[in-house]
Chain A
């Protein structure tokens, strides 16, 4: 799992992830990403390069969502594959998230 964190103008943080998110990688992801959930933070998770998210991976996403929104922040998922979206839909995770196809649309959603 590779993680690349960029800060864009207007204080938007973009987290680019590449690789599967599962129990063996989720804790490493969590360590890097959770500290970004500061008060009022705007975060985009770019999942274009994530082929698979396991149960633990989805739990990481939901826990991040809870922390970000609990701090009056916003979280947007970008580039989630159709298969992951299907899994998220069946298992109820999807309803929590704002999802966008591209980074630009994600930035728009955060405005």
Chain B
């Protein structure tokens, strides 16, 4: 027999509204029998008022103060009965001291968004100019967490087996050539799943998808006054629990939650993981002159790192710094990630400027940051990939030393720098050897495996791969900052001419350099990540910081797929080769010994002479052989792989190590050859004519497979 609960009847009234004391947990707005439970905390507010709007209304429909008896600790909570939950928006007014020197910014004239809002209205459709006189811009709404996942769950692909594709939701399909029904949306990514599968990646990393305001700091484009420069990339969070409405085809009807969950479910069905780029280092509220959206007005002193004088610390380079090792903020970060992992089935997170998460409330780096430890040991996040961008804008650089607690992987900035240098003919082969084998110099000493290293040559920050081989310097004039923004350390080389050229020789070299880069990336131990569009030669015309452009500088032009079919084919086959060969995807660092009795160590180094690598500083050549008997620590049988890299300006004869047991070397890739003879489908490789040696062209990479 079912008894009715006794706590589902109202006990109080306020005007026409029926109320009851709410529950502090969970924070945010939650549907309960008969009504909605509202719960919000503030350490320093004296009182709080719930403000209700009819959807899109200019003025509130009601303001309901929390009676004293509705407060538990520092949490204000109430149940409001009989709300048409789909058609209301809610916010709060907080009463408290206004004293910036003490860190308090209370102002009850402002309506504040719930930090736990799971749907946020106000920027429902991308790029629609907001009403600047609106008294409440980013409007918290109520949503049901009742998505029908059927049997879906995160894929838990072993990290060392991943190939990651970094992309921007809008850029991926916004270009008219994408030919999707709803360009620039979550729904459109779903339409492009066949493309991602053909390319062969098994994880997509989405640049920020938490609600942000594309109009933040928007200004006319100095080069084209009809166009606005906007907060395009979205590294500036308005709400940590809500998906970006403007990325959803259904944002205008408030169904972005279902749309994103449907995308995740479909990606999972197709063997693709979803990693979110999350920005916990700062918020969209900026510094003292920024807007008050939520945190500043709810509990400024708790949420932000403040100087002793009450100013905002700026370790993020974006005006403020979230106070991540304050126990309350730590909890909201944890709540947020748990929510995305459990409600959205997200497979992993990449933390923007993650070193900030290891700073104490005064900004000093901590030896054992509680937040990083909490995330590493959390049961709900236990199988999620945790990836740190292991530096911040305050000068803390922790690649190789990020507090990992056995869990954290890192964007390996040193991999990027080493490979770039090597490809253009700088750097040392000793350094390259470390990068090829999963950077043991950075990670092995701490017992961290090769999958700690997210290997990448290009990412959203910086040049695209085509631009890396087409420009010596950045060309950021379109950003309107006199080319002062963006990194100056690009390790790029234009191959002889700055920017596009008709010179066939230069263009051929650029193509080869692109292929060299991806060939090296896909045979490197660790986790490879490629940047959206590099596989078809996307250009940003030398701009290495396109954060503000909602135009062709960022949009992926799908006609490139036809124009640069050879590049796509090369990428696709390189990824397929990696996926086909477990010897390239080791979970453990190489031991440099023959523990399987195959006659070969697991990894060996060679030069133009077999078994004789030249480690001298001026050397531009190196070759690496991986023994198939040692694949996955000897647990699976694989072919042998030999990679010869000649970054010298002349072709060189490479003597090749011999194979045993009648095995023969086959040519999988040769970037020195022109398409279609530059690469073969894995399994279709022709036998190498001379088994003892081969000419490796100038600035070329050859990959052989021994079987």
* Chain A contacts to B: CB under 8 angstroms: 22-24, 54-56, 58-59, 62, 86-87, 90-93, 96
Given contacts A58-B258, A90-B182, A91-B259, 10 further A-B contacts (CB under 8 A): A22-B86, A23-B86, A23-B87, A24-B86, A54-B253, A59-B144, A87-B253, A90-B187, A90-B250, A92-B258
A92 and B265 contact, Cβ closer than 8 Å, known pairs A54-B86, A59-B144? yes
In the complex, are the beta carbons of B262 and A91 less than 8 A apart? yes
In the complex, are the beta carbons of B84 and A24 less than 8 A apart? yes
A54–B258 Cα gap in the complex (Å)?
12
Q: What 0/1 pattern do residues 180 to 193 of B give for CB contact below 8 A with A?
A: 01100001000000
CB distance from B462 to the nearest CB of A (A): 33
**Is B254 among interface residues, defined by CB-CB distance under 8 A?**
yes
A5–B187 Cα gap in the complex (Å)?
35
- List 29 contacting pairs A-B, 8 Å CB cutoff, sorted by A: A22-B86, A22-B87, A23-B84, A23-B85, A23-B86, A23-B87, A24-B84, A54-B253, A55-B144, A55-B253, A55-B254, A55-B258, A56-B86, A62-B148, A87-B250, A90-B187, A90-B249, A90-B255, A90-B259, A90-B262, A91-B250, A91-B255, A91-B258, A91-B259, A91-B262, A92-B147, A92-B261, A92-B262, A92-B265
**Is B146 among interface residues, defined by CB-CB distance under 8 A?**
yes
Question: How many pairs, one residue from A and one from B, have CB atoms within 8 Å of each other in the complex?
Answer: 50
**Inter-chain contacts of B143 with A (CB < 8 A):** 55
Nearest-neighbor residue (CB-CB) of B83 within chain A = A23
In the complex, are the beta carbons of B87 and A86 less than 8 A apart? no
B residues 69-91 in Cβ contact with A at 8 Å = 84-87
**Inter-chain contacts of B255 with A (CB < 8 A):** 55, 87, 90-91
A59–B254 Cα gap in the complex (Å)?
14
**Inter-chain contacts of B253 with A (CB < 8 A):** 54-55, 87
Nearest-neighbor residue (CB-CB) of A92 within chain B = B262
**Inter-chain contacts of B86 with A (CB < 8 A):** 22-24, 54-56
B residues 181-225 in Cβ contact with A at 8 Å = 181-182, 187
A96–B258 Cα gap in the complex (Å)?
14
B residues 132-165 in Cβ contact with A at 8 Å = 143-144, 146-148
Nearest-neighbor residue (CB-CB) of A89 within chain B = B187
**Inter-chain contacts of B144 with A (CB < 8 A):** 55, 59
A93–B258 Cα gap in the complex (Å)?
9
**Inter-chain contacts of B84 with A (CB < 8 A):** 23-24
Nearest-neighbor residue (CB-CB) of B186 within chain A = A90
A32–B254 Cα gap in the complex (Å)?
27
**Inter-chain contacts of B262 with A (CB < 8 A):** 90-92
In the complex, are the beta carbons of B148 and A24 less than 8 A apart? no
**Inter-chain contacts of A90 with B (CB < 8 A):** 182, 187, 249-250, 255, 258-259, 262
CB distance from A18 to the nearest CB of B (A): 20
Nearest-neighbor residue (CB-CB) of A87 within chain B = B250
A100–B133 Cα gap in the complex (Å)?
47
A93–B255 Cα gap in the complex (Å)?
12
Nearest-neighbor residue (CB-CB) of B147 within chain A = A92
Of all A-B residue pairs in the complex, the 4 with the closest CB atoms, nearest first, are A92-B262, A23-B86, A91-B258, A90-B187
A58–B261 Cα gap in the complex (Å)?
15
Nearest-neighbor residue (CB-CB) of B181 within chain A = A86
CB distance from B190 to the nearest CB of A (A): 8
A24 and B87 contact, Cβ closer than 8 Å, known pairs A55-B253, A62-B148, A87-B250? yes
A86–B419 Cα gap in the complex (Å)?
46
**Inter-chain contacts of A62 with B (CB < 8 A):** 148
Nearest-neighbor residue (CB-CB) of A62 within chain B = B148
Please indicate which of the listed interface residues B86, B144, B147, B259 has the most CB atoms of chain A within 10 Å of its own CB: B86
A93–B182 Cα gap in the complex (Å)?
17
A22–B84 Cα gap in the complex (Å)?
10
CB distance from A30 to the nearest CB of B (A): 14
B residues 230-264 in Cβ contact with A at 8 Å = 249-250, 253-255, 258-259, 261-262
**Inter-chain contacts of B187 with A (CB < 8 A):** 90
**Inter-chain contacts of A92 with B (CB < 8 A):** 147-148, 258, 261-262, 265-266
Q: What 0/1 pattern do residues 268 to 289 of B give for CB contact below 8 A with A?
A: 0000000000000000000000
A58–B253 Cα gap in the complex (Å)?
12
A91–B254 Cα gap in the complex (Å)?
11
A91–B182 Cα gap in the complex (Å)?
13
CB distance from B442 to the nearest CB of A (A): 42
A54–B253 Cα gap in the complex (Å)?
7
A32–B259 Cα gap in the complex (Å)?
29
A18–B562 Cα gap in the complex (Å)?
48
CB distance from B244 to the nearest CB of A (A): 15
**Inter-chain contacts of A22 with B (CB < 8 A):** 86-87
A90–B186 Cα gap in the complex (Å)?
9
Nearest-neighbor residue (CB-CB) of B143 within chain A = A55
A58–B259 Cα gap in the complex (Å)?
13
A92–B144 Cα gap in the complex (Å)?
15
**Inter-chain contacts of A24 with B (CB < 8 A):** 84, 86-87
A36–B690 Cα gap in the complex (Å)?
77
CB distance from B34 to the nearest CB of A (A): 12
A56–B181 Cα gap in the complex (Å)?
24
Nearest-neighbor residue (CB-CB) of B85 within chain A = A23
A59–B658 Cα gap in the complex (Å)?
65
A34–B44 Cα gap in the complex (Å)?
48
Nearest-neighbor residue (CB-CB) of A63 within chain B = B146
**Inter-chain contacts of A93 with B (CB < 8 A):** 258
CB distance from B193 to the nearest CB of A (A): 14
A53–B86 Cα gap in the complex (Å)?
12
A2–B306 Cα gap in the complex (Å)?
59
In the complex, are the beta carbons of B182 and A59 less than 8 A apart? no
Please indicate which of the listed interface residues A22, A23, A54, A90 has the most CB atoms of chain B within 10 Å of its own CB: A90
CB distance from A61 to the nearest CB of B (A): 11
A24–B259 Cα gap in the complex (Å)?
22
B residues 546-568 in Cβ contact with A at 8 Å = none
CB distance from B152 to the nearest CB of A (A): 10
**Inter-chain contacts of B254 with A (CB < 8 A):** 54-55
B residues 479-529 in Cβ contact with A at 8 Å = none
In the complex, are the beta carbons of B259 and A59 less than 8 A apart? no
CB distance from A90 to the nearest CB of B (A): 4
CB distance from B209 to the nearest CB of A (A): 16
Nearest-neighbor residue (CB-CB) of A24 within chain B = B84
A54–B255 Cα gap in the complex (Å)?
8
**Inter-chain contacts of A58 with B (CB < 8 A):** 258
CB distance from B31 to the nearest CB of A (A): 10
CB distance from B246 to the nearest CB of A (A): 15
A98–B182 Cα gap in the complex (Å)?
24
**Inter-chain contacts of B146 with A (CB < 8 A):** 59
**Inter-chain contacts of B87 with A (CB < 8 A):** 22-24
Nearest-neighbor residue (CB-CB) of A23 within chain B = B86
CB distance from A50 to the nearest CB of B (A): 14
A92–B259 Cα gap in the complex (Å)?
7
A59–B187 Cα gap in the complex (Å)?
19
A87–B259 Cα gap in the complex (Å)?
9
**Inter-chain contacts of A86 with B (CB < 8 A):** 181
Please indicate which of the listed interface residues B182, B255, B265, B266 has the most CB atoms of chain A within 10 Å of its own CB: B255
A56–B31 Cα gap in the complex (Å)?
13
**Inter-chain contacts of A54 with B (CB < 8 A):** 86, 253-254
**Inter-chain contacts of B258 with A (CB < 8 A):** 55, 58, 90-93
